[in-house]
Amino acid sequence: MAKKKFKPYDAVFVFGYGLDANGQLSELSKLNALAAGYSFAVGRTHTLILSGGTGGHNGAPSVAEQMQTYIRRRFGVRKDTFVIDSGSNETLESFMYLANLMDRHPAQLRLAYIALSAHLNYVREMAQLFDLVHEENPTEDLIASRSQRHRIYLEQRLRDDNVEYQALANRFQSELSWIRSQPDYWIPTLTALEDRFRLAGVLKRGAGIAQYLQENDINPHKMRDRKLRKRINALTRVHPLEQNDKN
């Protein structure tokens, strides 16, 4: 029986994992760029959506821009293959960017996510929250599938004593716990969503937020979009890390 031919994704969404102390791509961002470039090179996708800001590195090109440069140099990919999101520094922001992108181009596109395994639970939960559930391509699987040399390369960079990897995994666990338990961390950011149906859907699906909305006199079922956005925009965002610094 002939092997079924793989149908390429219309686009793959690639998460960036920050810059190093010198404003250059971190090793984990390079891994995702490598996985993305390989996906394109073997025909798994037509478009690469790269997401990642500067993370406070003033003057440095964004993670997304540097991943693009890395992929183009290594794989010879044309510039018009990429969609660049240089404004997102958190997974939450990446999903709001993707939601707006999809709502501006409402065709039923076949997408996939490229993310490290330590990120996938967070990605999966956010995809459900934003109604953007698509296939997942773990970074490690894509790289390891290339060759034995790439498997060794991967093992060297994702060893148990890799401080950068463990710090990133811990950060994802923390951010996911804030999404689940601290509505004042993420709801005040939602006015960045352009589509009113997307916004209403997120407020409906968000776990444990009914009391928070009620306390702030917000009823998404009865308010018109303009008034709803005005109320949400007036909320104060509380970032747990900034709150800890003050304490």
CATH (domain of 23) = 3.40.50.620
Q: What is the spatial distance between Cα 47 and Cα 82, in angstroms, rounded to a whole number?
A: 6
Which of 128, 158, 179 is the last residue in one of the domains? 179
Which of 157, 179, 201 is the last residue in one of the domains? 179
Query: Rounded to the nearest 10 degrees, what angle do helices 148-157 and 27-41 cross at?
Result: 160
Residue 155 maps to a domain: yes
Q: How many CB atoms lie within 10 A of CB 190?
A: 20
Q: Burial level of 55, CB count in 10 A (0-12/13-18/19+)?
A: middle
| Per-residue confidence (pLDDT) for residue 1, from 0 to 100 | 47
The answer, yes or no, to whether residue 29 has pLDDT greater than 90, is yes
3-state secondary structure of 28: helix
Residues 99 and 160 in one domain: yes
Q: With bands split at pLDDT 50, 70 and 90, how would you rate the model's confidence at 221?
A: confident
Q: What is the mean pLDDT of residues 50-65?
A: 93
| Per-residue confidence (pLDDT) for residue 240, from 0 to 100 | 85
Q: For residue range 186-220, what is the model confidence (pLDDT) as tens digits?
A: 999 999 999 999 999 999 988 788 899 999 999 98
Select from 124, 156, 163 the least CA-distant residue to 140: 156
The answer, yes or no, to whether residue 173 has pLDDT greater than 70, is yes
**Domain, as residue range, for 217:** 183-240
Residues 65 and 169 in one domain: yes
Longest dimension (CA), the chain: 65
Residue 122 maps to a domain: yes
Residues 113 and 214 in one domain: no
Gyration radius of the chain's alpha carbons: 19
Residues 154 and 192 in one domain: no
Q: What is the mean pLDDT of residues 8-36?
A: 95
Q: With bands split at pLDDT 50, 70 and 90, how would you rate the model's confidence at 3?
A: low
| Per-residue confidence (pLDDT) for residue 4, from 0 to 100 | 60
The answer, yes or no, to whether residue 174 has pLDDT greater than 50, is yes
- 245 against 96, higher pLDDT: 96
- 102 against 146, higher pLDDT: 102
The answer, yes or no, to whether residue 91 has pLDDT greater than 80, is yes
- 158 against 51, higher pLDDT: 51
Residues 94 and 204 in one domain: no
Q: Percent of the chain beyond pLDDT 90?
A: 76
Residues 20 and 122 in one domain: yes
Residues 26 and 101 in one domain: yes
| Per-residue confidence (pLDDT) for residue 243, from 0 to 100 | 57
Residue 166 maps to a domain: yes
Residues 118 and 198 in one domain: no
Residues 55 and 128 in one domain: yes
Residues 158 and 199 in one domain: no
Task: Provide the number of structural domains found in the chain.
Answer: 2
Residue 4 maps to a domain: no
Residue 2 maps to a domain: no
Residue 16 maps to a domain: yes
Residue 245 maps to a domain: no
- Pinpoint the alpha helices (H) of the chain: 27-41, 63-75, 91-104, 117-129, 139-144, 148-157, 163-181, 183-186, 196-205, 210-215, 225-233, 240-246
The answer, yes or no, to whether residue 170 has pLDDT greater than 60, is yes
Amino acid letter at 121? N
Which of 179, 195, 210 is the last residue in one of the domains? 179
Residues 124 and 141 in one domain: yes
Q: With bands split at pLDDT 50, 70 and 90, how would you rate the model's confidence at 148?
A: confident
* Partners of residue 196 on adjacent β-strands: none
Q: What is the spatial distance between Cα 35 and Cα 154, in angstroms, rounded to a whole number?
A: 11
